Amino acid sequence: MPSTTTPTSTSTGPATTTTTDTDTTTTTDTDTDTDTDTDTDTDTDTDTDTDTDTDTDTVKAQPRNKVIAVTGASSGIGRATALALAQHGATVVLGARRGDRIEQLAAEIRENGGRAVGVPTDVRRRTDLVRLVDTAVARFGRLDVLVNNAGIGPISPLEDLRVDDWDDMIDVNLRGVLHGIAAALPVFRRQEAGHFVTVASTAAYRTVPGQAVYAATKTAVRTVCEGLRQEVGDLRVTIVSPGFVHTDFADAVADPDARAALLARRDAMALDPTSIADAITYAVAQPDQVDVNEIVVRPTAQR
């Protein structure tokens, strides 16, 4: 409610300046000149940019208005992200190799009043990503966001020469992201709107012994996404780089010593996957003119 300050300066002379300073600035300046300066700048400022913000940008900014595909949705960060987005009212299209798990997750989301569909997806196969994107468009009319989350990390020292593991990391972590871009970019171009969210890693900023190939794939992912952002200026591109997160990442590590060390560090400091899901939800929820380019989320104890 605007404050009404009424200083009534009554001088014996004819000038009675009654400045009724409500937001409707009615300066009735009774100077003999009968200057009824009812300054029709009547500041009744119906600037709807007030705190009632029924601003269209705010409406657009809600995840509930979006159709979002998530790869690697069967566990860890992908599962937590799908649940968080569905709780905010987004329609989620779930992709993962473990079809039984994504069907269970989709059923759980639907039972709680959300909209979800599962599509068995191996990101190493480009056709699977095309099917994931096509399913979103066929079922729900569009795709607003692709969350490229699928990733693996069978880390080991280079001297172990686990070449098959190197190939798998390159295929899933890097080629999988490229397949997602190739599938969604034509759709986003047709819609003249779209958002790529890609999960990288703090390993892209700092590598340690045993993680050379894994870190190389995540560094490459950051480079690809930054190049994509520069090339497709009217689309949005976000990189989310988690630190230690409590997932089944360590399960793929064959070397017993490396695995034990990783599990010990994970149990000592790892974040819950919901922390990363919250960061992704934040980026997705921004209005169209806001592009959150990069978010790094690590445990406070992680150096």
Q: Is residue 95 part of a domain?
A: yes
Domain that includes residue 183, residue range = 67-296
Task: Out of 214, 240, 277, 285, pick the active-site residue.
Answer: 214
User: In the chain, which residues have pLDDT < 50?
Assistant: 1-60
Region of 272 (left: φ > 0; alpha: ψ -120 to 50; beta: rest) is beta
54 within some domain: no
Q: Catalytic: 205?
A: no
Residues 211, 151: Cα–Cα separation, whole Å:
14
**The one-letter amino acid at 43:** D
What would the 3-class secondary structure string for 43-103 be?
A: CCCCCCCCCCCCCHHHHHCCHHHCEEEEECCCCHHHHHHHHHHHHCCCEEEEEECCHHHHH
State pLDDT tens for residues 129-178.
999 999 999 999 999 999 999 999 999 899 999 999 999 999 999 999 99
* 303 domain residue, yes or no: no
Residues 6+ apart with CB under 8 A from 103: 118
Q: Is residue 3 part of a domain?
A: no
pLDDT in tens, 270-280: 899 999 999 99
Residue 221 is assigned to a structural domain of this protein: yes
Looking up residue 202, the CATH number of its domain turns out to be 3.40.50.720
Distance separating alpha carbons of residues 290 and 231, to the nearest angstrom: 17
Spatial separation of the C-alpha atoms in residues 188 and 144, rounded to whole Å: 8
Distance CA 211, CA 297 (A): 19
Q: Is 18 a member of any domain?
A: no
pLDDT at 61: 56
Is residue 288 within 8 Å of residue 92, measured between CB atoms? no
Our count of domains for the chain comes to 1
Q: Flag whether 44 is in a domain.
A: no
Cα 3 from Cα 21, distance rounded (Å): 7
